[in-house]
Chains A and B, each alone.
Chain A
Amino acid sequence: MGKVTFSIGGVHPHDCKYARECAIEELPLPQTVYVSMAQHLGAPAKPVVAVGDSVKVGQVIAEPGGFISAFIHSPVSGTVKAIAPRKDLAGNPVMHVEIAVEGDEWDPAIDRSKELVTAIPDDKALILDRIKACGVVGLGGATFPTHVKLSPPPGKVAECLIINGTECEPFLTSDYRIMIERPREIVVGAALMQKALGGCKCVIGIEENKPEAIASMRAAVAELGYADMRVQVLRKRYPQGGEKQLIDAVMHRQVGSGGLPIDVGAVVQNVGTALAVYEAVQKNKPLISNILTVTGDRIPANLQHNYLYRIGIPLSFVAERAGGVPDSAAKIISGGPMMGKAVSNLDAATVKGSSAILYLGEEVTRRGRQTACIRCGRCADACPMGLEPFLLYRLYKAADLEGLEKNAAQDCIECGCCLYSCPARIPLLDHIRQAKGQVMGVIKARAAAAKAAAEAKKQ
């Protein structure tokens, strides 16, 4: 089968995968870790430990605070020092559990051997329970609790599990490294999720700029021989790794506005998530670590790393271990350059979904002076959702919520293609993000009102 890609919009930034040859190194532990209670999409978790408690690696320290929420486990062994608000990377106070590290004593229930377990449990519920109990969340960026995604609502059937190995964000190499170094675990993780979804087919999508990863994953799929599983090569194009775009590319189906992937029979999971699922189900190891790339533009090779880190380690500690923040850095980003978050507080702790510390130089990242829109239409050409960012920007400025909804501001996936491609450097996405929030508010309020009216009618 040839290379495929999504059908609307997209851009082609240089991939800048400078850290691709850096093997994964395990990051040592600092003296103190700070475990955030809000490191997944949905309700924050509720701490179940008290100050003074001693904890082991992998012990539950917080339980889900709602249906869409997740367990959080201690990434280290030691004593709970404090449970208090601490500034996250945006400087906003978030509840953290502070643990003083003492030794590295693991919960005995965790299998720490390197032996590959390929046998898939027969019981679907067991797989889902383990995933939930181990606090696995989507590691592709949204950190949506995985067990929720793997439990389709009644009446919906998963036809295809798409494993997302596209890593379309420039600079990031963490997914690439695990596909090179741990392909077989990923494949077993994919097979586990296939089983949990009731035996649908599975497609592992990888972009063409990672031939070694494609070869390595193909070899693992062939070696392990699970049914209905294959690797699909995708053209290099951003935002291929967006859920909706990936479904379009692989299945040639489009998720309707406001809909979920499962509506078209798709479930998308990241390769990192597949690895976490493997460790959770086969090894009983909760999600307490992840891979993080330290990279940047024109950063010397010795400052580029791929680290296996424990969650809760402060970003500043990681940066220090990696050789310090380079002088050329004008902006520090947590995540990729297209969708990552600018770091205003480097003391913030890493979370389950941390994927990179990225240093960008002044000339690469500075937006430059905003000039007048020349109506070149590049933003509309680039938008993978087929929206017209220039129009949404104008409507937002005019506070026309009705117009914004009609022109589908709520469909924006915040991929950044519009602002990336704007020659006049108009802060399109900055404002469309606000517009999206406002329109979503209107839609939700309307839905709530309709529901209340319907219930009133019933009574």
Chain B
Amino acid sequence: MENKKYIVSPSPHIHADISTTSIMRDVIIALTPALVVSVLVYGWAELLVLLVSVASCVLLEWAVTRWMLKRPSTVGDLSAVVTGLLLAMNLPSAIPLWIVFIGAVVAICVAKLPFGGIGQNVFNPAITGRVFLLVSFPAQMTNWAPTRGFITVPDAVSGATPLSALKEALKSGDTIPQFLDAHGYTLSSMFWDIGASAGEISATALLLGFIYLLIRRVVKPWIPLSILGTIALVSLIFQAVNPDLYTGPIFNIMTGGTLLGALFMATDYVTSPMSVWGGVIFGVGIGLIDMMIRYFGAYPEGMSFSILLMNCTVPLLNMWFHQKKYGRA
């Protein structure tokens, strides 16, 4: 006892084997299947977008915390890597790389660090970056010209995303069934290759990753379930009213950023409510706004916008919804 200094601290004296870094690592692992598929389908161009996005996010975070905020760098927690990956997955593979960099600047230097860095940001950084690019560079952001991939996918859809193609088709007076027929969409093709931004290419890969997160208890299913449930319900109702004008639930869940958004973006800890019921309301809100934009808005889809809008409500939802306390009504 004389020479050795023993540690003293209040209880508890042991800790769960978990850290912010390990959580982020799990998210990266969960994104991997979708990343692999998108690189296979879109080739070198997609890989470059990914690399540039991740590298810029990490470098920017490191540089800003180091030189501007003058505090310990948070790069080690891998959150910047996750932001970079999610941003890249929301971009078309043919996008010029300097635009990717601008997206990273907005994500890290506008949406994340000014609010106080990890844990403090109100808006999801990757989505903020994406929405900024969508509004600023609409032409480049909707250019889904296929880049050359390593494999060729049967029935691969090229050109415009199904949703923008649909908007065009509806404008020209086609009905939904005509449109689906013309493009050869079937249920099975949707699980494999709905062409859209890179990360949205394979529903199966995204679901696989999400199931990994569920098993690792990194996320809880309430938010994705309520988003997808709301989208399904709204589409069912509208489809029943007029199947010629309104698309059905499976089409809406499988297209656009729905799955990527619902499974990976809306479940971001920082920008989603902490309680179960808060999460459900958050999810329902996202689903409703997304469907309103799809059916009535100018944009072909609205996952990003709806998540951003619902991000604003998180502090309120956290204030209103608390979990059940022991021995209290």
Give me the interface of A with B, judged by CB distance under 8 Å.
Answer: 8, 11, 13, 170, 244, 248, 254-257, 259, 316, 325, 329-333, 337-344, 346-347, 358, 360, 362, 364-368, 371-378, 380, 384-388, 390, 407-408, 411, 414, 416-417, 419-425, 427, 429-430, 433
Query: Which residues of the other chain, A, contact B116 by a CB distance below 8 angstroms?
Result: 372
Given the interface contacts A254-B327, A386-B325, does A13 sit within 8 Å of B6 by beta carbon?
A: no
C-alpha gap A346/B10 in the complex (Å): 16
Kindly provide the distance from the CB of B221 to the nearest chain A CB, expressed in whole angstroms: 14
How many A-B pairs with Cβ below 8 Å? 157
What residues of A have a CB within 8 angstroms of the CB of B274 in the complex? 375, 377, 380, 388, 390
Chain A residues, Cβ within 8 Å of B204: none
Which of A13, A259, A407 is the most central at the interface, judged by chain B CB atoms within 10 Å of its CB? A13
* Closest residue of A by beta carbon distance from B77: A371
Residues of A within 8 A of B328 (CB): 256-257, 386, 408, 411
B19 at the A/B interface (Cβ < 8 Å)?
Answer: yes
Q: Which 3 A-B pairs have the closest CB atoms?
A: A416-B12, A386-B325, A372-B119
Given A330-B7, A380-B323, A388-B323, A372 and B120 contact (CB-CB distance below 8 Å): yes
Name the residue on B nearest A421 (C-beta).
Answer: B16
The residue that B327 contacts in the complex, of A255, A333, A341, A417, with Cβ under 8 A, is A255
Q: Does B182 contact A (CB under 8 A)?
A: no
Residues of A within 8 A of B172 (CB): none
Task: Add 7 more A-B contacts to A368-B15, A419-B12 (CB < 8 A).
Answer: A8-B325, A338-B13, A342-B8, A386-B325, A411-B328, A420-B14, A429-B12
A-contact 0/1 string along B108-140, CB 8 Å cutoff: 000000001111100000000000000000000
For A416, list chain B residues within 8 Å (CB): 11-12
Q: Which residues of A contact B326 (CB under 8 A)?
A: 8, 244, 248, 254, 384-386, 411
Q: Closest residue to A359 on the B side, CB-wise?
A: B6
A380–B324 Cα distance when bound, in Å, is 10
Q: Please name 15 pairs of A and B residues whose Cβ atoms are closer than 8 Å in the assembled complex, sorted by A.
A: A13-B16, A248-B326, A331-B13, A338-B12, A340-B13, A368-B19, A372-B20, A374-B119, A380-B275, A388-B322, A421-B18, A422-B15, A425-B19, A429-B11, A433-B10
CB pair A360–B325 under 8 Å, yes or no, is: no
Contacts A254-B327, A371-B77 hold; do A360 and B10 have CB atoms under 8 A apart?
Answer: no
CB distance B322 to A420 under 8 Å? no
Considering the complex, give the chain A residue whose CB is closest to the CB of B118.
A372
- As a 0/1 sequence over residues 57 to 70 of chain B, the CB contacts with chain A under 8 angstroms (1 = contact) are 00000000000000
Q: Are A256 and B327 in contact (CB under 8 A)?
A: yes
Cβ-defined contact, A340 with B11, below 8 A: yes
Pick the contact of A371 from B15, B74, B324 — CB < 8 Å? B74
A420 near B16 with CB under 8 A, answer yes
Choice from A386, A390, A423, A425 contacting B324 with Cβ under 8 Å: A386
Whether A387 lies near B119 (C-beta < 8 A) is no
Q: Is the CB of A8 within 8 A of B11?
A: no
* Chain A hits for B7, CB < 8 A: 330-331, 342, 362, 365-366
Give complex CA distance A175, B19 in Å. Answer: 33
Q: How large is the interface on B (under 10, 10 to 19, 20 to 34, 35 or more residues)?
A: 35 or more
- Bound form: Cα–Cα A270–B1 in Å: 33
Query: Is B22 a contact of A423 with CB atoms below 8 Å?
Result: yes
Q: Which residues of A contact B19 (CB under 8 A)?
A: 368, 371, 423-425
CA distance A279 to B326 in the complex (A): 36
The docked-state distance in angstroms from the alpha carbon of A274 to that of B323 is: 36
Mark each residue of chain B from 1 to 36: 1 if its CB lies under 8 Å from any CB of chain A, else 0: 100001111111111101110110000000000000
What separation, in Å, do the CA atoms of A340 and B10 have in the docked complex?
A: 9
Judge whether B270 is part of the interface by a CB distance below 8 angstroms. yes
What is the distance, in angstroms, from B62's C-beta to the closest C-beta of chain A?
A: 16
Within 8 A of A (CB), among B255-306: 269-270, 274-275
Residues on A with C-beta less than 8 A from B322 are 388, 407
**A423/B74 contact (C-beta < 8 A), A338-B11, A416-B11, A416-B12 known:** no
Partner of A374, one of B8, B13, B23: B23
Contact of A13 among B10, B11, B14 (CB under 8 A): B14
Distance between Cα atoms of A408 and B325 in the complex (Å) = 9
Contact check: which of A362, A375, A417 meets B119 at CB < 8 Å? A375
Which residues of A are found within 8 Å of B13, using beta-carbon distances?
331, 333, 337-338, 340, 342, 358, 360, 365
Interchain CB contact under 8 A, B6 and A329: yes
Q: CA A325 – CA B4 in complex, angstroms?
A: 11
Query: What distance in Å separates the Cβ of A446 from its nearest Cβ neighbour in chain B?
Result: 19
Give which listed residue, A339, A375, A378, A407, contacts B11 with CB less than 8 A.
A339
Report the bound CA distance from A139 to B328 in whole Å. Answer: 28
Q: Are A367 and B15 in contact (CB under 8 A)?
A: yes
Task: Select one of B6, B22, B269, B323 contacting A375, CB under 8 A.
Answer: B269
Docked pose: A123 CA to B329 CA in angstroms: 40
How far does the Cβ of A406 sit from chain B's closest Cβ, in whole Å? 10
Return chain A residues, CB-CB under 8 Å to B22: 423
Distance in angstroms between the alpha carbons of A170 and B23 in the assembled complex: 25
Asked if A429 and B10 sit within 8 Å, CB to CB, the answer is: yes
For the complex, give the distance between the alpha carbons of A255 and B120 in Å.
Answer: 36
Inter-subunit contact A332/B20 (CB<8 Å): no
Complex Cα distance A373/B270, Å? Answer: 9
Q: Which residues from chain B contact A411 at a C-beta distance below 8 Å?
A: 325-328
A329 to B14 Cα, complex, angstroms? 14
> B325 touches which one: A378, A385, A420 (CB < 8 A)?
A385
